[in-house]
Amino acid sequence: MRLMRLVVGCLGALVAAGAAHGQGVHEWQMGLQEPASPYAQQAHDFHALLLVIITVIVIFVLGLLIYVMWRFNAKRNPTPSKTTHNTMIEVVWTVVPIIILIVIAVPSFNLLYALDHEEDPELTLVVRGYQWYWSYEYPDQQIEEFQANLVPDEEIGEGQLRLLSTYDLTGRTDGVVVLPVDTDIQIVVTAMDVLHSWAVPAFGIKTDAVPGRTNETWVRIEEEGTYYGQCSEICGAGHAFMPIEIHAVSREAFDDWVEQQTAGLELETPPVLLTREAPAPEGAAPAEDAPTDEAPADEATEDEPTETGDAGTATAGQRLASN
């Protein structure tokens, strides 16, 4: 009876794992989280390819061992062969592993290149690791560094998950990372004390945070939702209590969040928005009133010399006119 319940439970887990989305954790969850970025999908495809290759190799080696034990045991083969070399076999067992390694290497290098960095990111997120919490900053959006601390068990609210949900201990923000979907996002990771590792499985990201060094990765989130991660480098007593909570929203909702976070702040320049232009900060001079050092066109004369150089040296416009 217990065996039957175990089998039914395993089958149910497989079904649930296939149907569950990777935005969080689920009971009886098995396998990898559903990918939420193109890179994560590539990584999952590569994982599936390796699983097929290693399964074929294991079955082949196991079959070969069973055949050798049956065919060449002392009873069936009392006089063993004294053959020491076989050119064909030696060529095969050299060439076949090389082919297998090439098949593995090509998608592996493609993955490494794809995650290296984004040439033209639309958004930059700065991640800093501390003992034992993360902090985040949006430099282009004028959002200063804020903390993301673990929500204590006694304060977990509706919709929050134990050991995964975060909040800002300072109370300045809600303590979660908000990122837009369908956007190329550059993620800059560093640490302020010891080694950490910023890892979000649904994005296929695991980037080490090293003190005094800046590492870079990127992501493009394909679906809105809440995604979780944790520190994946042992960093001391609080290592298990450094969760990552990311809310992926539409580009318009992200702009609304940025304006909410920067409302009432004295900014020299407006925050960079993705879907619209941010209003100029209060007190900033309009662009047309900005001072300029250029002289009006009607004040320039063809005979006016430059202020530098020898006498008689013409301006660029004069030289072009004379040519």
* pLDDT tens per residue across span 165-221: 999 988 888 899 999 999 999 999 999 999 999 999 999 999 999 999 999 999 999
Residue 14 has φ and ψ, to the nearest 5°, of -65, -45
- Residues of the chain above pLDDT 70, percent: 79
What distance separates the 2 farthest-apart alpha carbons in the chain? 112
What's the confidence (pLDDT) of residue 228?
A: 95
CATH fold of 123-262: Immunoglobulin-like (2.60.40)
What's the confidence (pLDDT) of residue 286?
A: 53
All CATH 2.60.40.420 domain ranges in the chain, comma separated = 123-262
How are strands ordered across the β-sheet holding 166-167?
166-167, 143-150, 133-138, 123-130, 185-191, 215-219
What's the confidence (pLDDT) of residue 45?
A: 93
What six digits make up the tokens of 182?
């369908």
Q: Each residue of 81-111: pLDDT tens digit?
A: 887 888 898 999 999 999 999 999 999 998 9
All CATH 1.10.287.90 domain ranges in the chain, comma separated = 32-77+86-116
Residue 166 identity (one-letter amino acid): T
What class does CATH assign to 32-77+86-116?
A: mainly alpha
- Residues of the chain above pLDDT 90, percent: 58
Q: Beta partners for 229?
A: 244
Q: Sign of dihedral through CA atoms 181, 185, 190, 196?
A: positive
Task: Report the relative pairing of strands 196-200 and 143-150 from DSSP bridges.
Answer: unpaired
What six digits make up the tokens of 23?
């935005």
In terms of pTM, does the model score above 0.85? no
